[in-house]
Amino acid sequence: MVVAPATANIIAKMAGGLADDLVSTLALSAAEILIAPAMNTRMWLAEATQANVATLTGRGVHVVGPAEGRLACGDTGPGRMAEPEDILAAVARILLGT
């Protein structure tokens, strides 16, 4: 399963084991998950978001990004979703077991 963009909200839901929408419900049953975080820099750097990502990676969830650059809100910094080709490369690595 690929979650792109992975917002702070869906990352928190996944870390908490919530299943109140299609994405979070599917995430509870997926064998392999890759998230591509995308959010405002302050949201990405927030202690809660970092703890949620740590929880997910501790459960074996793969993460690609975020990249740095211009964000949808107009700010510049970390939080930009990884480029599609980087996400695809991460999927290939997961599927190939490398």
Per DSSP, 72 falls in state T
User: Token pair of 93, please?
Assistant: 């690595």
Q: Is the dihedral of CA 81, 8, 50, 44 positive or negative?
A: positive
- CA dist., res. 14 & res. 28, Å (int): 8
Catalytic (active site) residue 73? yes
Identify the active-site residue in 26, 48, 54, 73: 73
Residues carrying an active site annotation:
73
